[in-house]
Amino acid sequence: MYPYDSIRDYVASLERRGRLVRIPEMDQDAYEITAFAYRLNDRMRDKAPAFLIERTKINGTLYDTPVVGNLYNGYSTIAQCFGVQDITDEQSAMYDATVERILSFLDREFTWKKIEPVAIQRNCAPCKEVVLTGNAVDLYRFPWIKNNPADAGQYISAGSVIMHDPELGRNVGTYRMQVKGHRKTGVYFTNQSHGYKFMMRAMERGENKVPVSVAIGIDPISWMMSSTRLADVGEDELAIAGGFRGKPVEIVKSETNDLYVPAHAEFILEGYINTETEEEGPYGEMMGYIGKKTFTAFTIEVEAITHRKNPWVYNLWPGIGGAYLTVPWDVAHFARLKKIMPHLVKLHTPPDTPSVVIACIDKRLPGEGIEIGMLILGYRMVGFSKKVVIVVDKDVEPTDLSRVMHAVGTRWQPGSASLIVPQTTHIPIDPSCREMFLSGKIVIDATRQQPGEGGPDVYPEDNRTALEERAPDAFALVDKKWTKYFQK
C-alpha cells in the first residue's frame, strides 16, 4: 500500500498490476540480463515491466539472490510511486496527474515539504535480519552486476551513499561503486556532487577515513531523493522523502558507525571512505556511452554488511528504460519558470533522451517561443544539463515524442526559429563535448510561426487539432468503446 516502505512492497504492487515479470534464471556471464533489458524496452517501451531474476550466473557461480530491475518505467508506474489514484496506461494523463500531485508537495517558496525520519529499534529493522562482520564480510557473496563487457567490472549501481558533516548534517546520494575486492569498492563523486563537498570538508578537517554507510534497495521515494538533486546541500534527503510520503522514513543506527540508514533497505554496507583516490572505470554511463576511466575516485573499505533474509540486489542499467524518478525535477523547474513565464503550460524531460527538454506554451505574442527557450537555457538547474530545448504549442503533448517531432518537422523554420548558443556550461559526461563542462546549445522554436516571425499569413489548421476542436466528443466516444472494438 502507498506509501511504500520498501522496494518489496512496491514491487509487490507492481506484480498485482501485472507489471512484473519473474524469470527463474539468467546467465550474466553471457550478458543475458543486459540484452534482456534492452529488448524489453525496444519491444515494449513505456509498458515494459519490471523484472525479478531469481538466480543469476556471474563469474561461473549461480547466485540465488534475486536481481531486480526496470522498476520505474513509464508514467503509469511513476504515478503509482507518487500515490496517484486511478492508475491507467494513458501516459500523458498519468504524467499530468503525477505533476499535479508533486506540485502539492512544493510550498510557495518552492521548497519541498519535510517530515523528519524516525529512528526505530534494530530488532524491528528488516535490514538487520542478517549481520555480517569480521571474516564474514565478503562482497562476492552477492550478485553485483557487470552490465557491459566494456565496463571495468561488477558495480553496485544503485547504492545510496550516506555521510554526515558536523555543520551540514546528513547527505544521501547515489554514486556508482565499482566492486574492487572482497571488502573494497570504488566510489565516484563528480566534483559538483554534495558527496564530493562532504568529502572535501572532511579532508579539510584532517580526517583520512570518512565514515560511510550505503543503503541498497530502498523505498521508491527515498531512492528518488538519493539519485536526483532535489535537496540543497544541508537539506536532509530523507526528511524531504518523508514529506513526499506523508509519513516518516524509518531509520536505524549502523552497527559500526553512528550513521542512521533506511531501516527497510535490502542491504547496508558500512565502512569508511579512504581519502586517497585511485583508478576507476570505465563504466557505461547514463548518457548511453562508455565513460572514460577516471583517476579521481575514492575507495570504500567495507567493515560490515547487514541485509534482509533472502535480500534482493537492485541494479541499474544506465541509459536503458526506467531507472529512477526525475519528474520532481521537471515540476520544481516548471513551478519556478511559470512564475516568470505564465504562458508556460508544461515542461517535460523525456527520461531516455538525455539533454533534451520540451516546453509547451500557450503562445500569444511573436517571439515567445525563443523567449521561453532562452529562459530555460539561462536557468541553470534546467539549462545546465539541457542542450536542446524544443518549444511547442499547447496542442502538442510533450510526453508524446512522435507529436513533438511532428511539430519540429512541420512548424519549425531552422533559419528563423532557432537560437544557437555557441558555448555555455554543461554537464561533464556529454560525449559530444570536447571540453568538459562546455557545450553549444540550441532552442528549437517549433511553435506555429506568426506572420511577424516570418510565418505564413494564415497558418493552416492541423488535422488532429481541427478534429479535436470541431468534434470535441469524438475521442471520448472512441475511448468509451475502446475495449468493445476488440471483442470477438
Ligand X SMILES: Cc1cc2nc3c(=O)[nH]c(=O)nc-3n(C[C@H](O)[C@H](O)[C@H](O)COP(=O)(O)O)c2cc1C
Measured CA to CA in angstroms, residue 225 lies from 94, 97, 221, 436, 485 at distances of: 21, 20, 6, 26, 43
- Cα separation, 328 vs 368, in Å, equals 25
Site string for ligand X, 80-119 (x = CB under 6 A): ----------------------------------------
Binds ligand X (CB under 6 A): choice among 47, 101, 201, 229: 229
Task: State the residue number with the nearest CB to ligand X.
Answer: 173
The DSSP secondary structure of 313-328, one letter per residue, reads EE---TTSS--S--HH
Cβ-based nearer residue to ligand X, 56 or 174: 174
Cβ-based nearer residue to ligand X, 49 or 318: 318
Cβ-based nearer residue to ligand X, 49 or 319: 319
Q: Where are the beta strands (DSSP E) in 59-176?
A: 61-63, 67-69, 118-119, 130-133, 155-156, 159-165, 169-173
Cβ-based nearer residue to ligand X, 28 or 171: 171
Binds ligand X (CB under 6 A): choice among 49, 69, 159, 173: 173
Binds ligand X (CB under 6 A): choice among 312, 317, 324, 412: 324
Q: Where are the beta strands (DSSP E) in 168-242?
A: 169-173, 177-181, 184-187, 209-216
Cβ-based nearer residue to ligand X, 81 or 391: 81
| Interacting span for ligand X (CB under 6 A) from 90-98, 104-112, 316-324, 376-384 | 316-324
- Cα separation, 250 vs 239, in Å, equals 10
Three-state DSSP string of 221-284:
HHHHHHHCCCCCCCCCHHHHHHHHHCCCCEEEECCCCCCEEECCCCEEEEEEEEEEEEEECCCE
- Helices 327-340 & 368-378 angle (0-180, nearest 10): 120
Nearest-approach distance from CB 110 to ligand X, in angstroms: 17
Nearest-approach distance from CB 220 to ligand X, in angstroms: 13
All three cell numbers of 405: 517531432
Under a CB-based contact definition with an 8 Å cutoff, are residues 408 and 390 in contact?
A: yes
Nearest-approach distance from CB 229 to ligand X, in angstroms: 3
Could you say whether residue 333 binds ligand X (CB under 6 A)? no
Binds ligand X (CB under 6 A): choice among 228, 254, 257, 385: 228
Could you say whether residue 174 binds ligand X (CB under 6 A)? yes
> Which of 424, 422, 416, 421 is CA-nearest to residue 369?
416
Nearest-approach distance from CB 290 to ligand X, in angstroms: 14
**Neighbour tally for 332: CB within 10 Å:** 22
Nearest-approach distance from CB 223 to ligand X, in angstroms: 9
Name residue, grid cell 513509464: 74
Burial (Cβ within 10 Å: 0-12, 13-18, ≥19) of residue 350: middle
Residues 139-168, interacting with ligand X (CB under 6 A): 157
Could you say whether residue 318 binds ligand X (CB under 6 A)? yes
Site string for ligand X, 241-280 (x = CB under 6 A): ----------------------------------------
Could you say whether residue 222 binds ligand X (CB under 6 A)? no
Nearest-approach distance from CB 452 to ligand X, in angstroms: 42
Could you say whether residue 194 binds ligand X (CB under 6 A)? yes
Could you say whether residue 190 binds ligand X (CB under 6 A)? yes
Could you say whether residue 171 binds ligand X (CB under 6 A)? yes
Binds ligand X (CB under 6 A): choice among 50, 214, 241, 316: 316
At residue 375, the 3 state secondary structure works out as: helix
- Cα separation, 325 vs 223, in Å, equals 8
State the number of CA atoms in the 13 A half-sphere of 265 facing the CB. 29
- Cα separation, 117 vs 244, in Å, equals 12
- Helices 474-485 & 463-470 angle (0-180, nearest 10): 100
Binds ligand X (CB under 6 A): choice among 6, 91, 227, 399: 227
Nearest-approach distance from CB 18 to ligand X, in angstroms: 26
Which residue ranges make up the site for ligand X (CB under 6 A)? 157, 171, 173-176, 188-190, 193-195, 227-229, 316, 318, 323-324
